[in-house]
Amino acid sequence: MPVLVGVVAVAALLSIPRLTWQWFGLFATLVHELGHAIAAILSGRVVHGIRIRRNHSGDAMSSGRPGFGTVLSGVFGYPAPAIVGAALLWSVFNGYTAIALFVGGVILILTLLVIRNLFGVLVVLASAGVAALLWFYGSPEVRGYALLVLGVALLVGAVRGLVTVIGVHTSRRSQLQTSDAYLLYKSTGVPSPVWLLLFAVLIGASLTFAIGTYAANG
């Protein structure tokens, strides 16, 4: 229990205070945009580039036949940090910490091929640098704790992102063009609240999976 409290405390310190979120939130944005990009690739689309901006906004540009691929890519932005966070917790508790760290590092290196702005390159390099330090210098125990903290922080960040996008639709409607739910509405005609609900379901399912993983292995 003390270990759990420590992990949650550090994760909360990364993902809740504005001072730290302005930095960790950039990584969460990168994961968000990678969610779009990977979903696009899996649905047969071609990814042309990713941009990450200092204000935590970003773009994942892809092309291909409109339809299912466009929808799948649009859906898996906001839930991506929660899905990755839950996957990290599962990996640590099931003995796959090294594999998770290696796969994450490879994805970050490959991401450099599609980053289209300098600030985005810096975010990816900083993230890859942390992964490299853990890989080469971290003990198995340190790696495990680091991925647990990262996983919990991403889960919290996903909830934070969901609250933010709901706020855009309820009180900051001048910013609707920044919302994936609104963009999905424009491309499909399905109302934005349906997409917001889907985001919430996917994030909630990831949280439930993470909690279940801890309960079974913690």
**What would the pLDDT profile of 81-121 be if each residue is shown by its tens digit?**
999 999 999 999 999 999 999 999 999 999 999 999 999 99
Whole-angstrom distance between the N-terminal and C-terminal Cα of the chain? Answer: 9
DSSP bridge partners of 47? 62
Q: List the domain boundaries for the chain.
A: 2-217
**What would the pLDDT profile of 111-169 be if each residue is shown by its tens digit?**
999 999 999 999 999 999 999 999 999 899 999 999 999 999 999 999 999 999 999 99
Burial 158-171 (b: 16+ CB within 10 A, else e): bbbbbebbbebbee
DSSP bridge partners of 59? 51
Proportion of the chain in helix, strand, coil states, percent, rounded to 5: 75, 5, 15
Q: Are 80 and 34 in contact (CB under 8 A)?
A: yes
Residue 177 CB-density burial (10 A; 0-12 exposed, 13-18 middle, 19+ buried) = exposed
User: Three-class SS of residue 63?
Assistant: strand
**What would the pLDDT profile of 42-93 be if each residue is shown by its tens digit?**
999 999 999 999 999 999 998 887 778 889 999 999 999 999 999 999 999 9
